[in-house]
Each structure stands twice: as C-alpha cells, then as structure tokens.
Structure 1
Amino acid sequence: MTDDRTLAATLQLWRKRLTPDQVGLPARQPRRAAGLRREELAELSGLSVDYLVRLEQGRATSPSAQVVAGLARALQLPPPERDHLYLLAGLQPPPDRRISDVISPGVHRLLSRLGDVAVSVFAADWRQVWWNARWAALLGDPADVAPEDRNFAGARFPVPGGRAQVAAWPVHVSRQPVSDQALVADLRWASARYPSDARIDELVTRLLHGNPEFATLWRLGVVGQHTEDLKTIDHPLLGAVEVECSVLTVSDTDLKIVALTETAEGCTASVLAGTR
C-alpha cells in the first residue's frame, strides 16, 4: 500500500480537493479528474510544473521554506494544515500566529461538564478569557476587572501603577520560587511561539521594566510550560482553602484550562452550592 502520510501524497490529496472556482480560475473543459490540475497549482504557487511533478512523485523531498509558503497559499491551507505541510517538508512552521482568546465549541462543552470544579481559561499570554461560577465564588468574580487587567502573570509580578488582578482576595503559593520560575518560563515559551503578537510583547516589556523579580527570572533563559501548583486562598467566608492547581493546554490555540481542586474534599461544598 502507498503511504499517504508523505509530503508527495499529501500534496496530491490537497490539490485534488480544490476546484478551479475556489481559487478564482475558470473551469476548463473537459476535466477527467476532480480538483486542480498540476499546471494550475504550479501557476498559483509560482513553481515550475516539472518541480511540482517531482514533489508529488516523491523525487523532490526537501523544498525550501519559500516553496512551501507558496504551496500553502495556493492550496488555501488553514494554519494547522499549513504547519503540517512545513513539518512534512522537514521545516519548522513560521511563527507568525497571533494569540487567540477564542474557545472552541468542543472545549466549551468540556468546560460545561466541570460544574463542581473551579475552572478558568487563560490565553497563551495568561490573560483570563473565561471562568465558571465556582471559580468566581472561590476567587472572586473577575467580571469587575477590565479585560486587559485580567492577567495572571501581571498579577503575579505587579508593576508600579499596575491594576492586574485575577483574585479578589489573597492567594499564597506553596512552592513560590519554583512556581514563579515556571510561570516566567511559560511566558518565554509563548513569546517565541507568538513573536509577532503585540500583546505578549507589551506584557513582557512592561514586566521586565517594572518588576525586578520577573526581570531576574527572565534573564535565566529557562523555557517551559506552567503545569501545576499548590495554593492557599484566604477566602473571606471560608478562611484558608488549600487547592491544587492543574493547567491543561489546548494544543491548537495554546489556551490554558486552569482547574482548582480542593485538597480537603467537600470543605466548601455547602457554602458554594448556590453557585451551581
């Protein structure tokens, strides 16, 4: 059987699923097969027909980034397929995406089934974009905070005159140095993933100039992702509430689903029951 996961097979598959009218070309009759002809794709992507033939036959396997970019544009590939094409060609996808605040319907359905867990969603730059009622009851309702100020990194590393906030009352971190380093490493990772995004650039610049602790940790150059934490919330009604913080990342958007589970099972259930 032919391996349809190769660059050659994938190019053929994507060429054949496009029609001339989808790319602005007149339909030329007769057409013996569905999709674009090789000469049409070659013209659209700025390649010679001979080179496209060699790519589709597997005789050329290492196209340049410029060639792959031309093919991705001509084939009208969405970002995940564009990145896949680069990887098939042995190249790193171009880091030109912008941070997304959009939560897909599938993720929304998952979140709606977590009613007994305090859950919030943060963008790749740690801006808070969604939370459930349980989260609001445990940490305070973020709705009263301006969207640009709902940033976890900004709240963790405050700057003079800053108003960043994601909790209405004090939150203490059990492993503060390790946790702080993990958060800074996560931001460094995100800044490389989204080098053209003005929002994360502005955030990192502001923290570097306004918070010495952040600047010191940033200059260590550590790269990673923030995945877990142990926190104690000084709740005005419940007193000290210890929670485990787990961070799950949605791969296509880098949205972070943050879930807080109480270490003392059910200790706040009666107080927060009205939030469900």
Structure 2
Amino acid sequence: MESSELGGLVRSWRERMTPASAGLPEGGRRRAIGLRREELAALAGISPDYLTRLEQGRATSPSAQVVQSLARALRLSDAERDLLHRLAGHATPGLSVVPTRISASVQRLLDRLAHTPVAVYDATGTLLVANAPYNALMGDTTAWHGIARTALWRNLVGTGSRVVHTPEEQADLIAMQVADLRMTSSRYPTDRSLRRLIAQLKAESPLFVELWDSGAAPDQRELGRSKTILHPAVGPIDLDCDSLVVAQDDLRIMVYTAEPGTPDAEKLALAIVLGTQTLSDVLAND
C-alpha cells in the first residue's frame, strides 16, 4: 500500500476524535477539526514533526511500536488497528499482544465519569488514557511519553506521583507492581513491546532486577484504598482509590473519589477547577 493511504487514514481518524474522547479539555476556539496533531502526538508518545511527515506520506516505515501507540491513542477498533498494522507493513498483533484498546463500553463508562478523576492502564501498568479531572489532580499526563507512561518506571526511576507514601508503602507498591508485571509477562510471552519494557527496566533499575529475579508472586494484601494526594495548589487531599478490572480487555480503571460534603470533597472540586482551567488556557494559546 502507498504511504499516502496510511497517512490519510491516520489523519481521518485524528479528525474524527474529540478532545473529550481523548481525555483532554476542550479549550477555547479550535481551528483544527478533531484533535490537533500536537495532541495526538503527545498521546502516542511521538514527535509532532514525525506525525506530520507520517500524515503527509513522507514517513514511510513507522515501527510496530509507533503503530501500536497510534492505534491506542486513536481509539481504533480491532479491525482498524489491524488495518493500520498491515498498511505499515507489520503483522497484526493478535491475542499474544497486551491489549491497549479502549472498547466502546469502557469509553461509555469513562464518559459517565467525566467529572471524576479516572485513568485507564493496560496490564503492564502503562497509562492508556486519563481524563481532564485526573490530569488536574495528578498533573498533565499528556506530557508523559514512552516508558514514562508506565507506573512502575515512574516509581522506580522517574519522579513518582503526587500520591504520598511512607517508605514501607512505597516498597510494597513497587514489589507488587514488579510481581504483577511478571504475571503479565507470563500471559503475553511473545509481546515484543513488553520484552523491551522489561529489558529497559532491568537496564535502569538494580532494584527491579533484584525483585524480578526473586520470583515473588503478587501479594494479594490490600495496600489501602485511601490515598493522600499532595496537590501543589490545594495541599493534601484524602481520597478513596478504587481499581476496577476489565477482565475481557485486561484493563485497569482507577477512580478517585471523596465522600460528599467533606473538606476533601471541596478540595478535590477546587483542584479539578484549577487544573482544567490551566489546561484550557494552555490549549487556547496554542
């Protein structure tokens, strides 16, 4: 297939998406139809320049990893994802690849929770999508690219998150995430992206190597549903964090809520207002 057909499809799929469907604030006036190139590039973890060249048919050989990231960011159906892979000259993922697609039913659930902080992770702990309230609470996740979107990497190597943990809680969390990743690896042993993730974690974190080689099984103990989020504008917020598993799609949905009528509920509402206003201002000035 000609590269122009691949680029044209990517552009048409980008233009049919709305900021809300991608977990982004609408912002002010928008000249672009659908998502801006910069927005899709950020969601897919690629450069806007590369996306421009791809849509214009000047980038002709996107890697399977880039194609998979674009399929995830564009919310493609299984058939559309497979078509994108074939046009790029790659084999279709099949059942041996960690699922990253947000199904229509899960998207409807996210739409119903549009005013609640919600994030969706795949089985590797990699962030697939976060809505605007989540970004307002936890920081702008569209600035996370590549491996930085994986929670385990952020906890081991990166800057962590706004969730407050004692050293013991942090150690338990990391050990659980490593054990979960090992279980995921056993379910998808031929997933090349997963193998690359594990290799990169081994290269960058001696603690990961130690925990991985220990062979410990996931600890089924509750780490605690109550989380304290240290927000830079409103201070600490005590919230309930519930993790919902979508077994058929092997996804994890994290939802943060506060008991209505409490000071924490008021602080959460303020954090969301402040954060969504800030993101809207940034997008309006783009």
Same-fold call, TM > 0.5?
yes
Q: Tell me which of 240, 244, 248 is aligned to 1:252.
A: 248
Evaluate the alpha carbon distance shift between residue 166 and residue 257 of structure 1 in structure 2; reply closer, same or farther with a 3 A threshold.
Answer: farther
Q: Closer, same or farther in 2 for the Cα pair 1:153/1:140, shift >3 Å?
A: same
**In 1, are the aligned partners of 2:147 and 2:197 still within 8 Å (CA)?**
no
Residue by residue over 1:102-123, the C-alpha shift from the partner in whole angstroms, topping out at 9 and shown as x without a partner, is 0100011011111342110111
1:215 is the counterpart of 2:215: no
The one of 188, 197, 218 aligned to 1:203: 197
- 2:197 maps to amino acid: L
SS at match of 2:267: coil
SS at match of 1:252: coil
Counterpart position of 2:9: none
Partner of 1:23: none
8 Å contact kept, 1:247–1:256: yes
Please, which of 164, 171, 174 is the counterpart of residue 172 of structure 1?
A: 164
Q: Which moved more, 1:137-146 or 1:223-232?
A: 223-232
Q: What does the per-residue CA deviation read over 1:143-201, in whole Å, with 9 as the maximum and x for residues that have no partner? A: 1222443111110111xxxxx5674xx43224222222211111111010111011111
What SS is found at the alignment partner of 2:256?
Answer: strand
1:46-85 CA deviation, whole Å, 9 max, x = no partner?
Answer: xxxxxxxxxxxxxxxxxxxxxxxxxxxxxxxx9xxxxxxx
Identity among equivalent pairs (%) = 30
Note the alpha carbon deviations across 1:114-135, whole angstroms, 9 max, x for none: 1342110111111111111110
Residues in 2 aligned to 1:228 and 1:120: alpha-carbon distance in whole angstroms: 18
Aligned mates of 2:271, 2:240 — CA distance in 1: 19
Q: 1:205 to 1:266 in 2, by over 3 A?
A: same
Q: Is the 8 A contact 2:117 2:256 kept in 1?
A: yes
Aligned partner of 2:113: which letter?
A: L
Is 2:238 the partner of 1:238? no
- Measured against aligned partners, the alpha-carbon deviations of 1:239-272 in whole angstroms (never above 9, x if no partner) come to 1223333222211221111122347333321342
Give 1:91's aligned residue.
none
2:232 paired with 1:267: no
TM-score for both structures, normalised by structure 1 = 0.56
Higher RCO, 1 vs 2 (CA within 8 Å, ≥6 residues apart)? 2
SS at match of 1:173: coil
Amino acid at match of 2:136: A
Letter in 1 for 2:189: P
Aligned partner of residue 267 in structure 1, secondary structure: helix
Aligned residue type for 2:270: S
Q: Specify the alignment match of 2:218 in structure 1.
A: 224
User: Does residue 190 in structure 1 map to residue 199 in structure 2?
Assistant: no
More helix by percentage: 2
**Which of the pair has more CA radius of gyration?**
1
Partner of 1:143: 142
Alignment check: 8 A CA contact 1:145 1:165 kept: no
- The separation in 2 between residues aligned to 1:239 and 1:246, in whole angstroms, is 21
User: Which residue pairs with 1:45 in the alignment?
Assistant: none
Answer yes or no: is the 8 Å Cα contact 1:189–1:225 preserved in 2.
no
Within 5 Å, give how 1:115-130 maps onto structure 2: 115-130=114-129
Contact 1:188 1:222 in 2 (8 A): no
- The CA distance in 1 between the partners of 2:250 and 2:183, in whole Å, is 11
Question: 2-side partners of 1:232 and 1:211: how far apart?
Answer: 26
Report the RMSD for the aligned CA atoms in angstroms.
2.8
Unaligned runs of 5+ in 1: 1-77, 79-94, 159-163
Structure 2 unaligned residues grouped into runs of 5+: 1-77, 79-93, 278-286
Deviation at 1:228, TM superposition (A): 5.4
